[in-house]
Amino acid sequence: MDNSTEERLLLLEDFDREDLKKRVWNESKKLWRIAFPGIIARVTSFGMIVVTQLFMGHISELDLAAFGLQQSILVRFVNGILIGMSSATETLCGQAYGAGHYHMMGVYLQRSWIIDGVTATILLPLFIFTTPILILIGQEENIAIEAGKISLWFIPILYYFVFSLTIQMYLQAQQKNKIVGWFSASSFLLHVLLSWLFVIKLGFGLAGAMSSFIISSWLLVIGEFVYIFGGWCPNTWKGFTKAAFADMLPLIKLSISSGVMICLELWYSSILVVLAGYMKNATIAISAFSICLNINGWEFMVCLGFLGSSCVRISNELGMGNAKAAKFSIKVALGTSIIIGIIFWVLCMVFSREISYMFTSSEEIAESVSRLHVLLAFSMLLNSIYPVLTGVAVGAGVQSMVAYVNLGSYYAIGLPIGILLGYVAHLQVTGLWIGLLSGVVVQTLVLSYLTWKIDWNEQVNKASERLGRFFIETTKGSDESSNLS
């Protein structure tokens, strides 16, 4: 029996001996150690989009509607693909870290850069031909033209996503995401400062808002590169290697299933924004709906912190072969996230109208946002449940199962309900949001049932098989021969 096996057996024995209070306390500490920096990183990263929209709203109503359409449809579409593709990195790095295969984490990171980089390049025409695409699907011409101008500014952001998403998952898996939190918070504060300077003080308008976004985003990525290449990840980063190009097909398959899982979720709300564009007074409808989605999305970023932490905890424990600890971590993560969801539910019910004025000075848009506040509050409450369950799926590597759940709950149930209520029952944006909420309720119930039915001992065996399939033996000689640097 080797030392690593003995260490794992000791950890399993320690877990069984601990009383419940101590177990909850220890798991909560591990959870928050991962979740808090992850929340900071995700909230501030998404916050840069929200801050940009805030400043767009004070440029003109047309810019606000165009940015809302662009961000809610195209950016969410592309971001969904890249987040999904990157979650394969989260699964593999988390399980490799738990199993002690540290050198493989750098290889997985490089493979994800290759796969995501190629994917981003394939998606590039969407940003170049945004205006004709939006006109083709029936959006108002003046909004589509303005969205096309904004779209070209998003091209550098597209490649920023490739690196920022994968690096965050790589660092998070080895519980070094505190540095990501610091970098993200600094980038967010810089973005607020630059946006105020470029838009308000210097009057650069659209160019000023988007330049601020690009500069702040890429400074974040450069800081992460310095951290990784500068020697702060000595066990997991061994330099650029030819091994990153080997065995790509299994990783591509896992990335695609991950991508489909996330995309079906994020595209759902994007389709509803498109439908809002066909309603009477489309500028008001799109603006109000995108504002609500961004408020909901910002709170969702907090919940994604728990998605990330539950993913890391599950994958680490599965990599170590501890099925009991994996199951217990789900309960602690879910309980903690629900408490936070209740707090946001209360805040939204009390301060809904005040929040809308942050995004716009238009009374008509603010009133439209205010009418949705009850539905928005319950969406925030559900946000505290299903992301954790999705994180469980990513940690266990069963993304394809969740993809089918998302397909059925969102597109077979939620979307038809939204269309019927919005257009047939003439409830307009309110009807669309009821449809959105219906799909989320069904998804949450099904994921809860499937999580309860998972055989975690079987998942331990599958994690071991997966890591064995991807494993590359490392020696000093092979490392040196495979390094490109």
What mean pLDDT do residues 132-159 have? 88
What mean pLDDT do residues 470-479 have? 51
70 vs 208, more confident: 208
How far is C-alpha 295 from the geometric centre of its chain's CA atoms?
15
Average pLDDT, the chain: 80
Q: Give 336-359 pLDDT, tens digit per residue.
A: 888 988 998 998 888 777 777 776
pTM comes to: 0.71
What mean pLDDT do residues 456-475 have? 68
pLDDT at 426: 82
pLDDT at 417: 92
pLDDT at 122: 92
In percent, the amount of the chain with pLDDT more than 70 equals: 86
pLDDT at residue 1 greater than cutoff 60: no
Q: Which of 15-24, 86-95, 148-157, 470-479 has the highest mean pLDDT?
A: 148-157
Indicate the range of 68-82, 238-252, 471-485 predicted with least confidence: 471-485
Q: pLDDT grade, residue 4 (50/70/90)?
A: very low
130 vs 17, more confident: 130
Where do the structural domains in the chain lie, given as residue ranges? 20-472
pLDDT at residue 251 greater than cutoff 50: yes
pLDDT at 3: 45
pLDDT at residue 480 greater than cutoff 50: no
Q: Give 311-327 pLDDT, tens digit per residue.
A: 778 777 777 777 788 78
pLDDT at 120: 92
What mean pLDDT do residues 255-272 have? 70
pLDDT at 320: 77
What mean pLDDT do residues 361-367 have? 77
